Amino acid sequence: MRRADIENVRKKALTDAAIQAVGAQGSMDVTMADIAARAGVSAALAHHYFGSKQDLMTASVRALLADLRTDAIAALGNARSPRGRLSAIIQVSFSAKQFSSETVAAWLAFYVEAQRNPGLSRLLGIYGRRLHSNLVSGLRPMVGEWEAARIAEGTAAMIDGLYIRKALGSAGRRADPVQLVEDHIETQIASVRRFA
Amino acid sequence: MRRADIENVRKKALTDAAIQAVGAQGSMDVTMADIAARAGVSAALAHHYFGSKQDLMTASVRALLADLRTDAIAALGNARSPRGRLSAIIQVSFSAKQFSSETVAAWLAFYVEAQRNPGLSRLLGIYGRRLHSNLVSGLRPMVGEWEAARIAEGTAAMIDGLYIRKALGSAGRRADPVQLVEDHIETQIASVRRFA
Amino acid sequence: MRRADIENVRKKALTDAAIQAVGAQGSMDVTMADIAARAGVSAALAHHYFGSKQDLMTASVRALLADLRTDAIAALGNARSPRGRLSAIIQVSFSAKQFSSETVAAWLAFYVEAQRNPGLSRLLGIYGRRLHSNLVSGLRPMVGEWEAARIAEGTAAMIDGLYIRKALGSAGRRADPVQLVEDHIETQIASVRRFA
Amino acid sequence: MRRADIENVRKKALTDAAIQAVGAQGSMDVTMADIAARAGVSAALAHHYFGSKQDLMTASVRALLADLRTDAIAALGNARSPRGRLSAIIQVSFSAKQFSSETVAAWLAFYVEAQRNPGLSRLLGIYGRRLHSNLVSGLRPMVGEWEAARIAEGTAAMIDGLYIRKALGSAGRRADPVQLVEDHIETQIASVRRFA
DNA sequence: CATGAATGAGTTTTCATTCAT
DNA sequence: TATGAATGAAAACTCATTCAT
């Protein structure tokens, strides 16, 4: 294998391991040694490739984001209408992969860390704006720019809230997250149209 | 000051300092020395009174919870109707005190920690059930038990989501959280009644 | 109770507690708080009466020594012959009180500490010389000064060895300590006489 | 030096340093920093190799035990008779290396610690049984099983006693330990034979 | 006389990071 | 490329000791 290839393989293994470790632990308070061990390499190598723990974490979030983006693009590509695009976004957000306990826990941990880490904050801001813009682009044709923005904000909040509840494994969750969000959107759209 | 009171004063100062420190830091990764300094005492004294960092944190969460509860009871006492109870709950959740950046950040940090700490998890579970039950008790008279539970779940998720967004200081937030939640509830209730 | 009496009662309670604590722990690595609690008082009071942990320990050894001395004097008073004096010394050394697990463990702990503590060393030296002199005074009439000193040294070593073995609760101890020491002395005396 | 050897070299340096430190201090109450400094490394490295202070101490006792065992095996190999084996054991016990102040102080410290540490206790139990069995194997041909066990016990006690007296540097020691023990054994054997 | 309040100094342990091989 | 060696810095926790009441 060429040197550049090895580097990519190692980097991928390390970011995967980092996400896994953070997800398992529920916070970014994991050791480089733990992450490296999950990737089957030494902690020193992780430093060699990423420079610091911080940089490895940032790269990991970027990977998470890229993954989500890929899924979203694929789902949106199949949508045949603005309303379909909304459903596609929701489906992806709660898909088995994105809504797995580990991934959700990792998201939450990164969110928390972002409060102190501008780089991370900026990165997660991208995700937030992308979600918002996707929601708005589905809603706009149906309710107009202004209402679309308002509904998107409530919807995004609900999605985030469902994520945090998933992460905490709150007992008593009965309703399907997709149903909950779809219902919110549907009801909001209907309400706007009734009074428009 | 009476000798017997000192303990309570110190304990209060320390839990306040802990919440403040956790809020400022955005995570429970704060040192006893930092907390103790904020309370104006030595780290050794914090151990003297609480035994361990863990116990101090638990006591702090308990204090946060008790504070929220007091506010909620006061607000509910003034409500004159089921619908008024719902608004009261929402008002309290987003009141200046409960929705301050620091308090919100502390809540989030405790939530994250709860993933690994059963004691904390149990404590926060109390909050979750109390919120749910308060919401249901306001909704039930209007939409019945079944729909009340469903709406309460979406509402609680939205509240949690708005909290996490507040903690992250996500740019671009424009809508008022209270408006968002009130609107969600109002629309949901109306929708249920229309098709009932 | 007069003030001086209270002081003596407290001091006695504290040295007793110290011996008990050290015996239970098997080393002088016990806390003032532990000792004070056993004596039913505060750690501050222990300092008030003894000035320092070191001083409390020294006083405790002194008490142990005084106790042993009282027992020894009583036993020697009943002895009717030099040989009887030897047996009396041995009896006392292995009496239920002096050879109890706790007392033995306390002796050992103090011995160990004496390596670094000249004051303690001096105190324990008194015990060593007293034992030696008592043994010699019993042996001298039977084997003369020179042999008495030699036999006393071996005997004292054996007694110390039996103490340390008791402290460690070495499995497999079968023989009675008194028998072992009596036999050693008897055989040594006989041997000297045969070849004298 | 080969990379693979470094670990063993460091471990050896650390256990040596630990024995030295414990011997100098007369108790196990020495800091990892002190031990590490004596070995010329950082305290962190000591943890790296041994995991905990406890484990380092256990390894050190094991080293002490192994060393004694090697010496004993060598000495026993040169013995030409049961009686010679007894003398060999005694010689080793009081050899310059094994009976040095530091080594003796270390033994005593470990013995004391063993009261609270089952792992250490088990380890030291091995030494006790080995000494006993070596003594019995030398005595048995001369006095039979039963008497051999009895004499071995007294002898072992005397050896232990001479160790503790050495550790304490008791003033007034005049007799040679080897002489004392040899004499005890000789006299006991003679006594048994006379009355057998 | 007696105690709880309070702390400074110290100890083990953890961990990101650097470096030589 | 890859790793084990090595460490400094930090953090929780302990405890003898002092002091005000």
pLDDT at site B138? 97
Judged by average pLDDT, the poorest of A145-154, C12-21, D107-116 is: D107-116
Residues of D in contact with C104 (CB under 8 A): none
pLDDT tens profile D5-34: 999 999 999 999 999 999 999 899 999 999
Residues of B in contact with A190 (CB under 8 A): 191
pLDDT at B79 over 60: yes
Please write down the long-range contacts of D18-22, taking CB distance under 8 Å and 24 or more positions apart.
D18/D56, D18/D57, D18/D59, D18/D60, D19/D60, D19/D63, D19/D64, D19/D102, D19/D103, D19/D106, D20/D102, D22/D57, D22/D60, D22/D105, D22/D106, D22/D109, D22/D110
Does residue B190 lie within 7 Å of nucleic acid chain F, judged by its CB?
A: no
Q: For chain A, first and last CA: distance in Å?
A: 63
- Whole-angstrom CA distances from A115 to A121, B114, C33, D87 are 7, 18, 43, 75
In one-letter notation, the amino acid at residue A96 is: A
pLDDT at C59 over 80: yes
Across the interface, whether the CB atoms of C115 and D172 are under 8 A apart is answered no
**What number of C-beta contacts closer than 8 Å exist between A and B?**
129
Closest Cα of chain B to A42: distance in Å? 26
Nearest CA-CA partner of C152 in C77, C80, C86, C76: C86
In one-letter notation, the amino acid at residue D103 is: T
* Minimum-distance residue to F10 (CA–C1'): B31
pLDDT tens profile C146-166: 999 999 999 999 999 999 999
SS3 state at B80: coil
Q: Which two tokens stand for residue A20?
A: 């896994």
**How many whole angstroms separate alpha carbon B126 and alpha carbon D154?**
67
Diameter of chain A measured on Cα atoms = 64
Subunit partners of chain C (3 or more CB pairs within 8 A): D
- Whole-angstrom CA distances from A28 to A9, A50, A56, A115, B115 are 23, 16, 11, 13, 13
pLDDT at site A5? 87
pLDDT at site A42? 98
Give residues 11-70 of chain D lying near strand F (Cβ < 7 A). 41-45, 48
**How many whole angstroms separate alpha carbon C9 and alpha carbon C122?**
26
| Distance E18 C1' – B178 CA (angstroms) | 52
What average pLDDT score do residues C72-86 get?
94
Across the interface, whether the CB atoms of B175 and A154 are under 8 A apart is answered yes
Interface test mutation site (partner B, options A102, A115, A135, A145, max chain B beta carbons within 10 A): A115
Please write down the long-range contacts of D5-14, taking CB distance under 8 Å and 24 or more positions apart.
D7/D49, D10/D39, D10/D41, D10/D45, D10/D49, D11/D49, D11/D50, D11/D59, D12/D63, D13/D39, D13/D40, D13/D41, D14/D39, D14/D41, D14/D46, D14/D49, D14/D50, D14/D56, D14/D59
Whether residue A89 contacts residue A72, with contact meaning beta carbons closer than 8 Å, is answered with yes
Phi-psi group of B41: left, alpha or beta (phi > 0 → left; psi -120 to 50 → alpha; rest → beta): beta
pLDDT at site C5? 86
| Distance E18 C1' – D57 CA (angstroms) | 29
pLDDT at site A3? 73
Q: At what angle are helices D101-114 and C118-168 packed, to 10 degrees? A: 60
Question: pLDDT band at C190, cuts 50/70/90?
Answer: very high
The string of DSSP codes covering chain D is --HHHHHHHHHHHHHHHHHHHHHHHTSS---HHHHHHHHTS-HHHHHHHHSSHHHHHHHHHHHHHHHHHHHHHHHHHH--SHHHHHHHHHHHHTSTTTTSHHHHHHHHHHHHHHTT-HHHHHHHHHHHHHHHHHHHHHHHHHHHHHHHHHHHHHHHHHHHHHHHHHHHT-TT--S-HHHHHHHHHHHHHHHHHHH-
pLDDT at D173 over 80: no
Nearest CA-CA partner of C86 in C154, C144, C134: C134
Nearest CA-CA partner of A163 in A135, A131, A186, A138: A131
pLDDT at D170 over 90: no
What average pLDDT score do residues B166-194 get?
89
Q: Which nt is closest to the CA of D51, judged by C1'? A: E13
C-A interface (Cβ pairs under 8 Å ≥ 3)? no
Q: Which nt is closest to the CA of A46, judged by C1'? A: F2
pLDDT at D177 over 80: yes
D-A interface (Cβ pairs under 8 Å ≥ 3)? no
Closest Cα of chain D to C134: distance in Å? 15
Secondary structure string (H, E, C) spanning chain C: CCHHHHHHHHHHHHHHHHHHHHHHHCCCCCCHHHHHHHCCCCHHHHHHHHCCHHHHHHHHHHHHHHHHHHHHHHHHHHCCCHHHHHHHHHHHHCCCCCCCHHHHHHHHHHHHHHCCCHHHHHHHHHHHHHHHHHHHHHHHHHHHHHHHHHHHHHHHHHHHHHHHHHHHCCCCCCCCHHHHHHHHHHHHHHHHHHHC
Whether residue C115 contacts residue C124, with contact meaning beta carbons closer than 8 Å, is answered with no
Closest Cα of chain A to B60: distance in Å? 19
Bases of chain F within 7 A of a CB of the protein:
1-21
What average pLDDT score do residues A44-67 get?
97
| Distance E16 C1' – A59 CA (angstroms) | 17
Nearest CA-CA partner of A28 in A107, A101, A98: A107
Mean pLDDT (chain D, rounded): 93
Q: Which two tokens stand for residue A161?
A: 């809230």
pLDDT at site A1? 66
Does residue C21 lie within 7 Å of nucleic acid chain F, judged by its CB?
A: no
**How many whole angstroms separate alpha carbon D73 and alpha carbon C145?**
39
The string of DSSP codes covering B38-68 is HTTS-HHHHHHHHSSHHHHHHHHHHHHHHHH
- Whole-angstrom CA distances from C78 to B167, C68, C75, C92, C106 are 85, 16, 5, 12, 28
What structural domains does chain B harbor? 3-195 (1.10.357.10)
**How many whole angstroms separate alpha carbon D85 and alpha carbon B39?**
71
pLDDT at site A25? 93
Q: Which residue of B has its CA nearest to A169?
A: B115
| Distance E11 C1' – D30 CA (angstroms) | 10
pLDDT at site C173? 62
pLDDT tens profile A142-187: 999 999 999 999 999 999 999 999 988 875 667 899 999 999 999 9
Subunit partners of chain A (3 or more CB pairs within 8 A): B
What average pLDDT score do residues D135-151 get?
96
Across the interface, whether the CB atoms of C157 and D168 are under 8 A apart is answered no
Exposure string of A12-23, with b = 16+ CB inside 10 Å and e = fewer, is ebbbebbbbbbb
Residues in chain D: 196
Whether residue C87 contacts residue C183, with contact meaning beta carbons closer than 8 Å, is answered with no
**How many whole angstroms separate alpha carbon A136 and alpha carbon A147?**
9
- Whole-angstrom CA distances from D134 to D48, D96, D98, D139 are 38, 20, 17, 9
Q: Could you tell me the pTM of the whole model?
A: 0.91
**H or E stretch covering A41:** none
Bases of chain E within 7 A of a CB of the protein:
1-21
pLDDT at site B3? 67
Question: pLDDT band at A195, cuts 50/70/90?
Answer: confident
Q: Which two tokens stand for residue B143?
A: 């939409």
Whether residue A159 contacts residue A130, with contact meaning beta carbons closer than 8 Å, is answered with no
**H or E stretch covering A31:** none
pLDDT at site A2? 75
pLDDT at C104 over 80: yes
SS3 state at B139: helix
**How many whole angstroms separate alpha carbon B6 and alpha carbon B25?**
28
pLDDT tens profile A77-107: 999 999 999 999 999 999 999 999 999 999 9
Does residue D25 lie within 7 Å of nucleic acid chain E, judged by its CB?
A: no
Across the interface, whether the CB atoms of C170 and D25 are under 8 A apart is answered no
Question: pLDDT band at C172, cuts 50/70/90?
Answer: low
Supply the Cα-derived Rg of chain A in whole angstroms. Answer: 19
D-B interface (Cβ pairs under 8 Å ≥ 3)? no
Rounded to the nearest 10°, the torsion over CA D67, D62, C26, D92 is -20
Determine what percent of chain B is predicted with pLDDT higher than 90: 85
pLDDT tens profile B17-29: 999 999 999 999 9
Whether residue D33 contacts residue D43, with contact meaning beta carbons closer than 8 Å, is answered with yes
Subunit partners of chain D (3 or more CB pairs within 8 A): C
Q: At what angle are helices B118-168 and A177-195 packed, to 10 degrees? A: 40
pLDDT at site B94? 97
Closest Cα of chain A to B98: distance in Å? 17
What average pLDDT score do residues C66-80 get?
94
pLDDT tens profile D147-165: 999 999 999 999 999 999 9
pLDDT at site D1? 57
Q: Which two tokens stand for residue D79?
A: 């013995």
Give, as one character, the DSSP assignment of residue A178.
H
Of B173 and D145, the structure prediction assigns the larger pLDDT to D145
Q: Which two tokens stand for residue A120?
A: 């991370």
Q: Which two tokens stand for residue C190?
A: 């006989």
Whether residue A131 contacts residue A153, with contact meaning beta carbons closer than 8 Å, is answered with no
pLDDT at site B109? 92
**How many whole angstroms separate alpha carbon B170 and alpha carbon B21?**
21
Whether residue B123 contacts residue B62, with contact meaning beta carbons closer than 8 Å, is answered with yes
pLDDT at site B4? 66
Across the interface, whether the CB atoms of D113 and C27 are under 8 A apart is answered yes
Residue bearing tokens 């919120």: B131
**How many whole angstroms separate alpha carbon B188 and alpha carbon A158?**
14
**How many whole angstroms separate alpha carbon B157 and alpha carbon A111?**
17
Q: Which two tokens stand for residue C83?
A: 């040989």
Closest Cα of chain B to A155: distance in Å? 8
Give, as one character, the DSSP assignment of residue A143.
H
pLDDT at B121 over 70: yes
pLDDT at D92 over 90: yes
What average pLDDT score do residues C59-64 get?
96
Phi-psi group of A95: left, alpha or beta (phi > 0 → left; psi -120 to 50 → alpha; rest → beta): beta
Whether residue C135 contacts residue C89, with contact meaning beta carbons closer than 8 Å, is answered with yes
Q: Which residue of D has its CA nearest to C177?
A: D154
Q: Which residue of A has its CA nearest to B162?
A: A157
Interface test mutation site (partner B, options A136, A146, A168, max chain B beta carbons within 10 A): A168
